[in-house]
Structure 1
């Protein structure tokens, strides 16, 4: 969950009362703290048809169900799934609602471009985290992720410069999310954004907000020269990072403040309009590119620690599941999304999930 630094207030309202023991809960609670009962048996949420703009009700009982737009019947609208696992071999991902939220407001989009001999030429991963204080944050994150992933894949297919393509993809994502705004909504849909374009020789990342990208170096065989060390490739656009950059607080002091996770940049109709931050590396040894929302990195944030955990697993999807499980075991207070790209690129497989 994120909030903007503009101090957009969270939506007011009391949490649900347990239907079994009547204990009060906090807004967004999924289970009763006292007896463990399910606090949300069925939830109806409004979505806007992306074709005609009409409102349609999508009902979910925590299973990915769908509703068709009654106005134009041109598209099926689906509630975001509580958990999604994708395995393309070349890139994998897991997105989980966590333990405290009623819905998954994160989004994950993966693409792989292969040559005529099925050799992977590029992998694209995009992770977006809906800003919970905005309206329909799940629509914002899905719109941004899918819009950017398609454009980044097209650019890779046309062998365009990855940095230029990332700027263009984020610009299109901002326009698409801005179009979701209804009337003069003071809290229009918004989300964070981080993407990676991975080729056989280079990793290019772009970001707005506090979803992160890491380079995780694989363990080196004894006697082998050192490769590119593990590192965080992104810098958070958050209140805490801003205070550290200005020299006003230490990282420990900033993270202890209640405003630490407030965003100072995001994707949406009321964003500042600045282009994404960009970074590129050319790894000299094997490793992994990790993208994740703050629901994961809040539980393990140092690149070396992340690299050691991922290195335990031969299957990248198992590694992504382990990172997700780490966050769930730590409390799962937010939605959790992880995308992992092994480097060098591996051959794609039949999609799982």
Structure 2
């Protein structure tokens, strides 16, 4: 798979579309994103870790606009209704009109929260995603899912609100801690595991270079994952069918995150563990072979990702949390499983005892 250093992915939706631009030097060069701002009011939402690193570079492109910034503390525990309310108050103080724009400068927490606030202000204003983590670049910044966490579960409140555009500058990944970077790789693997066996094999061949953050394979991997997700989103924007496949590993992973109060493991780590559990459950149900599970485990481990859940939480507690997943219907478990690499599918009426069978390791 070859790539130019800057890649563009089109997300085509009914009556509208937007672009995901991926490459180096995009943040500092406002020509890549300033035209996305239609009005005179801009609120930049970021966090206390990212803003000191990149807010000044972004601000240079906002000359001539009436803008301000709003910062939240870093971490999943701050993706709350309270902070959405504070963002809305900041928009009010700015005097934001219906052609105002929210720019989300940060990872998935910032993007989800800022996008949700943009969806609420005057029933929906523009927002631009400027993801600063690999996880956000390849997943949460694309597709229009916004929202916040509740004590009962992750992302249980939210809205579909598509961005005006996504600017994924890989230069910002140089300051991303190794653990955060590797967590983002889980979402890249997930895209391949769901529906692209050739991409999975490509990742096996390029795993070492990607872990080193070599620019060319990294841009190629991000673009291919975004292109796959863009295709799914264009066919099923509000997750009525095919888009649910993008949640491979998420029902398990979200339960692990919630059980740990969103501070024990990172989202990508939960996804990695969740994919392995989903693969094992697929084995148990006779849908897939152990060989595919072992390939998945081997690739995740090469990328430095966890593949086993902590023994801190009981299987029954995790199962209870899984029942709150948004994909479930009428109280029955509805999971994303697979028939091997690149062949994910939605499986309804999964029995509790089968789920418990993979949550309890011998």
TM-score, normalised relative to structure 1:
0.29
TM-score (ref. length: structure 2): 0.29
Higher relative contact order structure (alpha carbons within 8 Å, sequence separation ≥ 6) = 1
The structure carrying a bigger helix percent of its residues is 2
